[in-house]
């Protein structure tokens, strides 16, 4: 079972050396992939008292594609995955270009994880339409797959008009594997149609079992099987509870997870040394 590490961006706010040391340790310890999260803007709760989100302006998020390029330069084997990029609040062709560049610079080690987001304030600030984000994501994926795989693209949709254009360089992987984060039924349907995998972003409970059942049905409808599809679970932890890692990993495996990710961002695991110790201990406990 592949093991991944979630970049603790909220912990390594202004320390590129910490990111470098952590990423090198991830690769040296034998982890299979690194997840890099995405938020462009944080919200000031004092200015927006109605805001109820889990992160705000005090939480540091490194820009996703710049960080992925940095990681591509300091690693040689580990896969790199955005987890998850809030696709509908970004320009489609620009995302296709940035993703292709990361794939080229990493030698074909990139997975594009995407979601539709939860932060209406961020959408507002970026002047993107919250109400159409799901349908727009579907069209964005169709357009990006064309841009990644065709020399010259002619594509017209509700939000896109590509007429005699193309990317250069195009990615090593054609198309780049896409993973979908989120729990909505529409997300599961898009994942079954377009995706290489699904990131539930939840717990291995009855709801997750039900959603996995729905996903298997949608994969079957699309002429696919779950054997060709990844399920990535996040195990959020603190340094006070390492004994829970094995239980959580086994619980996810029992319901169908294929990838297990250590998530320490924003926890009491603070220093680089503590982060690396957690990586080492998690690998010892979470591997089957």
| DSSP labels, 201-251 | -S-SSHHHHHHHHHHHHHHHHTT--GGG-EEEEEEE--TT-THHHHHHHHH
- List, for residues 55-89, the tens digit of each pLDDT value: 999 999 999 999 999 999 999 999 999 999 999 99
Q: Which helix (H) or strand (E) holds 84?
A: strand 79-86
- E-strand spans in 87-215? 110-115, 153-156, 161-165, 178-181, 197-199
- List, for residues 93-133, the tens digit of each pLDDT value: 999 999 999 999 999 999 999 999 999 999 999 999 999 99
- E-strand spans in 94-171? 110-115, 153-156, 161-165
Structural domain boundaries in the chain: 3-286
Q: What is the pLDDT along the chain (288 residues), one digit of tens a residue?
A: 899 999 999 998 889 999 999 999 999 999 999 999 999 999 999 999 999 999 999 999 999 999 999 999 999 999 999 999 999 999 999 999 999 999 999 999 999 999 999 999 999 999 999 999 999 999 999 999 999 999 999 999 999 999 999 999 999 999 999 999 999 999 999 999 999 999 998 889 999 999 999 999 999 999 998 888 999 999 987 766 677 888 889 999 999 999 999 998 888 888 999 999 999 999 988 877
**Antiparallel, parallel or unpaired: β 230-236 and 161-165:** unpaired
Contact 251, 204 (CB under 8 A): yes
Q: Measured between alpha carbons, how far is 92 from 87 in angstroms, rounded to an integer?
A: 8
Fold exhibited by the domain 3-286: TIM Barrel (3.20.20)
**CA nearest neighbour of 114 among 232, 205, 255, 237:** 232
266 contact partners, CB below 8 Å, separation of at least 6: 8, 10, 11, 59
DSSP letter string, 64-81: HHHHHHHHHHH-SSSEEE
Q: Measured between alpha carbons, how far is 39 from 106 in angstroms, rounded to an integer?
A: 22
Q: What is the rounded radius of gyration, in angstroms, for the C-alpha atoms of the chain?
A: 19
């Amino acid at each position: 079972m592949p093991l991944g590490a979630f970049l603790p961006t909220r912990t390594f706010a202004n320390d590129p050396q910490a990111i470098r040391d952590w990423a090198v340790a991830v690769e040296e310890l034998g982890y299979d992939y690194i997840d890099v999260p995405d938020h462009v803007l944080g919200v000031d709760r004092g200015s927006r008292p109605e805001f109820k989100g889990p992160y705000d302006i005090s939480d540091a998020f490194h820009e996703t594609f710049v960080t992925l390029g940095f990681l591509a330069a300091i690693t040689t084997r580990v896969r790199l995955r955005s987890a998850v990029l809030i696709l509908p609040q970004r320009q489609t062709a620009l995302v296709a270009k940035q993703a292709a560049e990361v794939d080229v610079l990493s030698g074909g080690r990139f997975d594009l994880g995407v979601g539709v987001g939860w932060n209406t304030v961020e959408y507002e600030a970026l002047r993107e339409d919250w109400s159409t984000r799901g349908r727009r994501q579907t069209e964005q994926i169709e357009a990006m797959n064309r841009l990644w795989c065709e020399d010259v693209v002619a594509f017209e949709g509700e939000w896109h008009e590509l007429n005699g254009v193309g990317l250069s360089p195009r990615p090593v992987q054609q198309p780049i594997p896409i993973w979908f984060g989120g729990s909505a039924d529409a997300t599961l349907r898009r994942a079954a149609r377009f995706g290489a995998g699904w990131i539930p972003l939840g717990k291995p409970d009855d709801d997750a079992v039900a959603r996995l059942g729905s996903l298997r049905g949608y994969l079957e409808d699309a002429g696919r099987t779950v054997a060709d599809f990844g399920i990535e679970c996040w195990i959020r932890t603190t340094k006070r509870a390492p004994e829970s890692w094995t239980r959580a990993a086994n619980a996810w495996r029992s319901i169908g997870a294929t990838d297990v990710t250590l998530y320490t961002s924003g926890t009491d695991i603070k220093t680089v040394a503590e982060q690396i110790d957690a990586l080492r201990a998690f690998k010892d406990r979470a591997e089957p």
